[in-house]
């Protein structure tokens, strides 16, 4: 996963690159790639564990327990901190894709995550409509979170 300081490409370009990684893979290979992304998602920092219980960070529309903290790093760029149950590698992998897409980018740009990531990665056929519904709510939640941050930065 490219470090924030080294990857100057924008959200859209990063997503294009990741979509490319999924192209030409069969269903099983796409799932394997998602697992690779999942393994790359940083562990939840200890201080966030306690926050899970008190803050409203859970994506309720998703059946899997997913907790999201869209935030800004000291330098001002976006960071998505997330906690996803380990028994849901698909969800965790998808969250890792989003985290990589937004890392270090301006929060206003992070708020422009598009709606068609799953389609472009060919994941809708692999996962089915019901599972992708939950993943879409995650995208919406992340977008909303960064949009709020962008508004408060003004």
Among 38, 41, 96, 97, binds other proteins (CB under 8 A): 38
Q: Does 111 bind other proteins (CB under 8 A)?
A: no
- Sequence-distant (6+) residues with CB within 8 A of 117 are 15, 19, 97, 98, 139
> What six digits make up the tokens of 118?
């799953």
The piece of 1-9, 12-20, 70-78, 131-139 that touches other proteins (CB under 8 A) is 131-139
Distance CA 65, CA 63 (A): 7
The conformational region for residue 102 under phi > 0 = left, psi -120 to 50 = alpha, else beta, is alpha
Contact call for residue 88 and other proteins (CB under 8 A): yes
Quick one: which segment of 6-14, 47-55, 99-107, 121-129 binds other proteins (CB under 8 A)? Answer: 121-129
* Residue 10 beta carbon to other proteins: minimum distance, rounded to whole angstroms: 28
The least distance separating other proteins from the CB of residue 127, rounded to whole angstroms, comes to 6
Residue of the chain from 91, 102, 113, 135 that contacts other proteins (CB under 8 A): 91
Q: Given phi > 0 = left and psi -120 to 50 = alpha, else beta, which region is 14?
A: alpha
| Residue 3 vs 56, nearer CB to other proteins | 56
């Amino acid at each position: 996963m490219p470090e924030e300081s080294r990857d100057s490409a924008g959200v859209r370009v990063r997503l294009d690159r990741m979509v490319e990684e999924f192209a030409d893979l069969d269903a099983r290979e796409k799932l394997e790639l998602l697992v690779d992304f999942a393994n790359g998602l940083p562990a939840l920092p200890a201080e966030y564990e306690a926050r899970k219980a008190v803050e409203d960070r859970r994506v309720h529309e998703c059946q899997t327990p997913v907790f999201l903290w869209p935030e800004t790093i000291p330098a001002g760029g976006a960071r998505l901190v997330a906690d996803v149950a380990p028994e849901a590698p698909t969800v965790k992998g998808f969250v890792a894709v989003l985290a990589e897409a937004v890392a270090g980018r301006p929060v206003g740009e992070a708020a422009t995550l598009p709606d068609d990531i799953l389609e472009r990665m060919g994941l809708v056929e692999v996962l089915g409509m019901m599972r992708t519904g939950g993943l879409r709510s995650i995208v919406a939640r992340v977008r909303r979170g960064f949009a709020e941050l962008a508004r408060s930065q003004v």
